[in-house]
Structure 1
Amino acid sequence: MAKNTSYQEALLEDLKAELENILSDISESDKASELQLQFLEHVSSFLGGFNISQYHSLLDIERYEYNLNVAEEFAVKIKKSPLPSSILLGILATENLNNIEKKSKGVYYTDYRLASLMGQKMANRYSELVQNKQESISIIDPSCGSGILLCSFLEEIKDCYAIDTIISNNIYAIDISKHAIRAALLSISSYTANLDVISSLKEHLLLADSLNEKQSLVNLVSPKGFDMIIGNPPWEKLKLTRHEFELSNGNTIHYGTLFDKLSQDQLNEFNQKKLALKKYAKETKYIKETKGEKDLYVAFLNLGLDLLKENGEMIQLIPASLIRNQQTATLRKAMINNSISMSIKLFDNKARYFQIDGRFKFVMLQLRKGTGSKQISFSVNNSKTKDPIEIKTKELEKIRPDFSLPEVNTKDEWNLFYKISNTFPSFGMKNSIWEHSYNREIDMTLDKNMFITGIQNIREGLIPILEGRMIHQFITGAKAYISGSGRKARWEQSIFNNISNFRSQYYIKEDSLSYSQLEKTKKWRVGFCDITGQTNERTMLAAYVPPGCICGNKVPTIEFIHEEQFPRLSILWLAIANSFIFDWLIRKVITTNANFFIVDSIPIPIVNTSNILASKIIELTENIIFRQNASYTWETGEIRAKIDALIANLYGLNKNELDIILNDFPIVDKLQPKVENELNSNITKDIIALEFLKTKENYETEIKILNDKITLYKKAGAIPFVPSQFKTQNYDRVRN
């Protein structure tokens, strides 16, 4: 199976191959798209019972000649499929685009499992409207593709209502692709034998750009708009990168490749495409009104809010950036202000819904139009807790003024997240002890022409460049460069903090740096890796960056405004940032990038460095960061556990709350040596719990149990806080 192949593609691989063989036997490849549609229209006629000749006369097209038995036999196979026939037709009728074309158009065809779930929700709402005696119910998909979502709705209600009447009077769709409109017509038509119904449906399928056709859409029904909107709009940004341009021209490249200089013709083409996208964004109402990068799904959501009637319902599949990104804050507020109820279900792609990375997350949004939603019903699809969490909008606004939603799995998690966020100010709050500025010391793309490669050791006059992958918690040399470039670069694990032990991929001459850049390389400062993920073993990776190196843009460094007044403030922040508590808070609101907006939003205790707890944390942290080549010893692990326990006290946690946090890191200690009668060692979590309980009273029994377990862990060779990445070449060495 190809990498990132979707579950649906794998499931239908044989059927798709058979269809391709049938089509290749009938005609030449340059007519494949038209033949694909005509053949499946014929299959649809067998399923629905309509006359194919009259159908093609309705479309005013010239028919191909082929063996009708082949289409009938294929229809029988579709009927025997576990998938609904109409949805299967829609899948098979999708336009054949390569991966680059899919990405450039933002096309991620809807998985039948998601379509079925959305269809059920639409059917439930339709039943409510019918029970309320509403006579005319309008339903539209403004980016319909091959009609899979509308078919999923019809599949749910086909045995309960007069489906011909619904298809003829209630179903509407729009798409910018002529192929998609034909595909939607044939898939929906498989539900009826009545050509008059199909003719009425055809008039309701509009070939146009939804984002520029609001009036046309409304005129199809009434000025009041639509009762229900269902959709999986394009997810692409209106932005053309050089990488995408190269791929679209058939060049096989990977990120990090040094591009060849474009010819004049290529440069003209590249610039023309960029200008065309810019012009489209400037002229299209629902796009030009959005701030920041232009995401098409944002425009479609704004369109949906505009098209819905009062009390109308919208169900959309949307990237998870909807609930997290700074750029979508205005949209989130508009959704809350213009809804009487809102439900958000979060999915990841581990079930291979789409042919993209399994870590990618998206949401199923269900919104009913009205005024002043009092709460948001939030759930995580793969959570053990089935009941959604009811988050009051006033509480959310209090701790997340931009209405970004934390990814909480249970009510207890929400209560803890709310408690911490409501108790402590965010790291980015102005006029606090934590006031700071971020520095991007050197840009790995814009400044790349000054980089020097192929250096094996530190040389006078050359400064190593610290990349994100070289940062781990408290370590600035977590990986050492071997060879290659970009995604093909080879690295090995390392555990060094000393600049003399760094093996960087890139170096830069001192005299190539500006005065301010050079000054930064002369002092210690804290930095963190901003490329990360909430499903990683640890999410926040911060280190004390030594003098003598410069940080790439994926390793932002922080300058604390009040550090002169409060010495070692940066070390206190480093300890807090690397704690499980801070890590838990940030992984609730992050996807793959710890940008400044995210980091600034994390609650943090306001504490003077002379505070007893803070002073002890700083002392212990300095013990770690200035330990050369001793990052993963038992003694270091005990020190880190004490730091985490003290920070838990800074945040005012109790034992149950600390357990909630520690249990939310499933792959920590996963590769530690197993202990008798234990499925896996929990050395890191247990030693933190032990140190925490030592700071409390009346936990003697629990302390004894933990001490006994930790003795067994130590005997088995486990060491707390050792990351899984060190399980090979370094783990045995540091353990001994």
Structure 2
Amino acid sequence: MRPSNTVEAKRLAKTDTVIERAIGKSRSNRVELRFQLLEAAASRFGGFDLAEYHSRFGVRTRKSAARLVADARAIAQSIDESGIHPALALSALAREALDESDRRSSGAYHTDFRLALHLARSVEDRLVPDMRVVDPACGAGILLAAVSLTACGSDRILANEWLRNCVFAADLSPLALRGTLLSLAVLTDDLDALSQMRAKWRVQDSLLAPTKEWKALAPEGFDLVVANPPWEKVKLSRHEYIKASGESRTYGSSYKMDTLRGYEDAKMEKAATAARLVEKFPALAHGEPDLYVAFAELLLQLTRPDGSGALLVPAGLIRSLNTKYLRQELISSTKELAFTVMENRARHFAIDTRFKFLLVDYVKSSKTDKGSKAIGISHATSDDERVNVAKQVKLNVDELQKLRPDLTLPEVRTTAEWKLFKKMQANGVSPEYENSPWQTDFCREVDMTHGRPHFRSTPEPKCLPLIEGRMVQPHRLGCKSYVSGEGRSAVWRNLAPGTSAIRPQFWMPLRTLSAEALKRSKMPRVGFCDITGQTNERSMMAAMIPDGVVCGNKVPTVTFPNDPTQERALLWLSIVNSLPFDWLLRRVVTTTVNYFVLLSVWLPDIEPDSLPGRRLVEISRKLAELDKRGRVSFDVCWQITELRAEADVLVATAYGCTEADLRLMLRDFPLLDRGQPSLPGEERSTVTSDLLLSTWARRKRRQSENAERVSAAMQLGAIAYLSSEFAGTISEVREAAYG
């Protein structure tokens, strides 16, 4: 293991230190000595003879078996103290060490013990004697160890037969299979059972292995297939290539051409691999080939009719346009299908804690079945010991297909959320129908990577300011001004509402622009920041883009060819910046608001010349004016907030929402009003929720206690709808006004 911030790594850090101490100062083949010590620890737990084990499996020992077993005493004791079952702990300790570059190039994100046990428990009712279980990308075998533990418990007799007959494995790495063997050896002292099990394992690229080799192992298919396959696109970027060479850099920073020596050859090699995989796995033909998509197809192929599978994959499976074919295949090929959505906040993987992934659980159809009628979706959280799953929501496939023709799954947590999603989509209109006035032209005007050689750091004649994503907030363009630095290390200054101004990091020469970008730079249009997240304070952030500027690729711009009036653009702006639209978007977005995602969220049926449409157009126009006043004041801030609350109510009404629906939506925005003063006796401010609900009540001509709460919050200097990132920009004004 390498030092890591995962929960599992911290639990096993002491054990890792004990192992390193036992290895000592040996400089030759430390990896081999580590494996022998882990095998010795396994023998202490399993009770088998270590010398015989090494003899059977061709291990040339570096120390006597007795010495290794003695050295492993402290290792075994430390594993016991970790609270992780020895089979799972030894699997984790036997993993090949990967740095960030290795992990990204291989797509290997190791499964921690909590996920392994959760996956095993999800299939527990299907575990029976004499079944055939396979992991075709087993790594160090933690999933097979967890399934075996769940199937056998502490029953050694059952474990002997299970290992002898039921466990199949494959991996590219012989060392990975060695780790799998020693982790499963914890469960038995029967070396014959281990030998017979190991004889059924394969060192191979499972994706490219001939079908006949799988048929030889399981002629009718496997009863259970489990996997946490590699998560990586079969594509090489300049950024990844440079980092793989050992250079430290942040994404978006500049690079020297000599660091790309060999890049084109490596890129062609990747492309050749991708072509071979696409030929074998049709789902890969739709978009950039991703290894987990190929493995998901392989798992379906390996599963016998009425057999089942469980796999861990990125959440893109239920979201991405590129995985539509795979979603269709999963639904049509299974009679039971469920997805559990998880976040990495509990540090299962050594990656961003916001990363979302899935447990996919299915039962394959028999010849007489016609595919899944409903799809289960649930959400899970984790503590330091286990994964905890909330109640499952069932999505009817026919209903889903009407609302989401691409079969992307909305992340709804309750039946109430599913009903609200269905209602809002049903009351919306698709921008994709023929001659729709909402038909949309998207454009990424400047590629920030390929265009970098042309950037100017100071304004020059015949150059346009370059708009970046961080400069965009809802109804605000120029909310941040550039100070210094580059890439992700760049320093920007937050500007208060009412003082937005375009002060960019770069300017772009007109001569370098594409014809479409040049055309757009001469007209007003709308643009939005495409970097987002479901759990961000807000997910959709769009603003009016004036002529005389050009936008980077993180700010796609939007025009409406069937209705090029500015009123259409301003209406769209009010709708997409609303909380109701944001709530819908959060059901289907991951980290990027792309063309495909945005078109799949249907807009309420409002036209610019309707009464609510005219008011929403006026609101967008007024918000842009207020943000360019050149000064900050509480009056301006509250004019902005009241207009935004009114827009939210108009959009919610058009979607057919009720007050109860609004309250349900607001639960999905827990980060609102951070940085605002809370009411006495309360832990956090709720000024935005209170303003929205009081505005709703006022339009319905009802009294609301929320109005009193808004007044009290105003007296404390709170401002609704203000991003916490910008809360500090009005602190001086608040202090002057309220002391």
| TM-score between the two structures when normalised by the length of structure 1 | 0.93
Distance in 2, matches of 1:9 and 1:397, equals 42
- Confirm whether residue 275 of structure 1 aligns to residue 255 of structure 2: no
**SS of residue in 2 equivalent to 1:212:** coil
Distance in 1, matches of 2:623 and 2:657, equals 24
Distance in 2, matches of 1:516 and 1:326, equals 25
Q: Deviations over 1:568-587 (max 9, x none)?
A: 11000000010001111111
Match of 1:136 among 130, 137, 140: 130
CA contact (8 A) 1:4 1:356 kept: no
Aligned to 1:194: 190
Alpha carbons of structure 1 residues 512 and 246: separation in structure 2 relative to 1, 3 Å: closer
**SS of residue in 1 equivalent to 2:543:** strand
Alpha carbons of structure 1 residues 726 and 208: separation in structure 2 relative to 1, 3 Å: same
**SS of residue in 2 equivalent to 1:544:** strand
Aligned to 2:177: 181
- In the TM superposition, what are the counterparts of 1:202-217 in structure 2 within 5 Å? 202-215=198-211, 217=213
**SS of residue in 1 equivalent to 2:184:** helix
Alpha carbons of structure 1 residues 683 and 145: separation in structure 2 relative to 1, 3 Å: same
Aligned to 2:333: 338
Decide which moves more: 151-160 or 403-412. 151-160
Alpha carbons of structure 1 residues 80 and 489: separation in structure 2 relative to 1, 3 Å: closer
Aligned to 2:41: 43
How many residue pairs get matched?
714
Aligned to 1:256: 252
Distance in 2, matches of 1:398 and 1:515, equals 38
| C-alpha RMSD of the superposition | 2.1
- Confirm whether residue 708 of structure 1 aligns to residue 712 of structure 2: no
Aligned to 1:690: 694
Cα shift at 1:116: 1.0
Amino acid in structure 2 at the alignment position of 1:568: E
- Confirm whether residue 446 of structure 1 aligns to residue 441 of structure 2: no
**SS of residue in 2 equivalent to 1:381:** strand
Aligned to 2:641: 637
Cα shift at 1:228: 0.4
Distance in 2, matches of 1:386 and 1:511, equals 56
Name structure 1 gaps, 5 residues minimum.
Answer: none
CA contact (8 A) 2:283 2:293 kept: no
Aligned to 2:385: none
Distance in 1, matches of 2:81 and 2:250, equals 42
- In the TM superposition, what are the counterparts of 1:475-494 in structure 2 within 5 Å? 475-494=476-495
Amino acid in structure 1 at the alignment position of 2:376: S
Alpha carbons of structure 1 residues 6 and 232: separation in structure 2 relative to 1, 3 Å: same
CA contact (8 A) 1:464 1:506 kept: yes
- In the TM superposition, what are the counterparts of 1:280-359 in structure 2 within 5 Å? 280-284=273-277, 285-287=279-281, 289-290=283-284, 291-359=286-354
CA contact (8 A) 1:176 1:209 kept: yes
- In the TM superposition, what are the counterparts of 1:558-573 in structure 2 within 5 Å? 558-564=558-564, 568-573=567-572
**SS of residue in 2 equivalent to 1:301:** helix
Aligned to 1:165: 161
Cα shift at 1:495: 4.2
Distance in 2, matches of 1:462 and 1:198, equals 70
Q: Deviations over 1:651-677 (max 9, x none)?
A: 121111111112211011122111123
Alpha carbons of structure 1 residues 214 and 411: separation in structure 2 relative to 1, 3 Å: farther
Cα shift at 1:296: 0.6
Cα shift at 1:223: 1.8
Cα shift at 1:122: 3.0
- Confirm whether residue 518 of structure 1 aligns to residue 518 of structure 2: yes
CA contact (8 A) 2:37 2:71 kept: no
Decide which moves more: 374-383 or 294-303. 374-383
Distance in 2, matches of 1:140 and 1:607, equals 54
CA contact (8 A) 2:214 2:302 kept: yes
Aligned to 2:60: 62
Distance in 2, matches of 1:4 and 1:324, equals 29
CA contact (8 A) 2:18 2:74 kept: no
Distance in 1, matches of 2:666 and 2:80, equals 50
Aligned to 2:415: 411
Aligned to 1:535: 535
Cα shift at 1:647: 1.4
- Confirm whether residue 657 of structure 1 aligns to residue 658 of structure 2: no
Alpha carbons of structure 1 residues 158 and 385: separation in structure 2 relative to 1, 3 Å: closer
Cα shift at 1:4: 7.1
- Confirm whether residue 588 of structure 1 aligns to residue 587 of structure 2: yes
Q: Deviations over 1:672-719 (max 9, x none)?
A: 11112333221111111111122225x33xx2x122111101111111
Distance in 2, matches of 1:63 and 1:24, equals 16
Distance in 2, matches of 1:519 and 1:339, equals 49
Cα shift at 1:639: 1.5
Distance in 1, matches of 2:118 and 2:265, equals 41
Aligned to 2:119: 118
Q: Deviations over 1:203-227 (max 9, x none)?
A: 0221111112253553343321000
- In the TM superposition, what are the counterparts of 1:608-623 in structure 2 within 5 Å? 608-623=607-622
Decide which moves more: 403-412 or 618-627. 618-627
Match of 1:149 among 143, 156, 166: 143
CA contact (8 A) 1:138 1:228 kept: yes
CA contact (8 A) 1:228 1:313 kept: yes
Distance in 1, matches of 2:98 and 2:556, equals 39
Distance in 1, matches of 2:647 and 2:678, equals 25
- Confirm whether residue 576 of structure 1 aligns to residue 571 of structure 2: no
Distance in 2, matches of 1:386 and 1:187, equals 31
Cα shift at 1:230: 1.1
Distance in 2, matches of 1:440 and 1:176, equals 40
Distance in 1, matches of 2:348 and 2:209, equals 30
Cα shift at 1:137: 0.7
Distance in 2, matches of 1:514 and 1:423, equals 38
Distance in 2, matches of 1:6 and 1:282, equals 35
Match of 1:235 among 220, 226, 231: 231
Distance in 2, matches of 1:163 and 1:192, equals 7
Cα shift at 1:311: 0.9
Aligned to 1:401: 405
Distance in 2, matches of 1:466 and 1:320, equals 30
- Confirm whether residue 423 of structure 1 aligns to residue 427 of structure 2: yes
CA contact (8 A) 1:530 1:595 kept: yes
CA contact (8 A) 2:403 2:425 kept: yes
Alpha carbons of structure 1 residues 573 and 485: separation in structure 2 relative to 1, 3 Å: same
Alpha carbons of structure 1 residues 4 and 675: separation in structure 2 relative to 1, 3 Å: farther
Distance in 2, matches of 1:610 and 1:150, equals 62
Distance in 1, matches of 2:35 and 2:566, equals 71
Cα shift at 1:18: 1.6
Cα shift at 1:335: 0.4
Decide which moves more: 156-165 or 39-48. 156-165
Distance in 2, matches of 1:428 and 1:6, equals 44
Distance in 2, matches of 1:634 and 1:46, equals 70
* Identity rate, percent: 33
| TM-score between the two structures when normalised by the length of structure 2 | 0.93
**SS of residue in 2 equivalent to 1:18:** helix
CA contact (8 A) 1:317 1:363 kept: yes
**SS of residue in 2 equivalent to 1:281:** helix
**SS of residue in 2 equivalent to 1:75:** helix
Distance in 2, matches of 1:514 and 1:228, equals 53
Cα shift at 1:431: 2.1
CA contact (8 A) 1:473 1:541 kept: yes
Distance in 2, matches of 1:678 and 1:64, equals 65
Distance in 2, matches of 1:43 and 1:286, equals 41
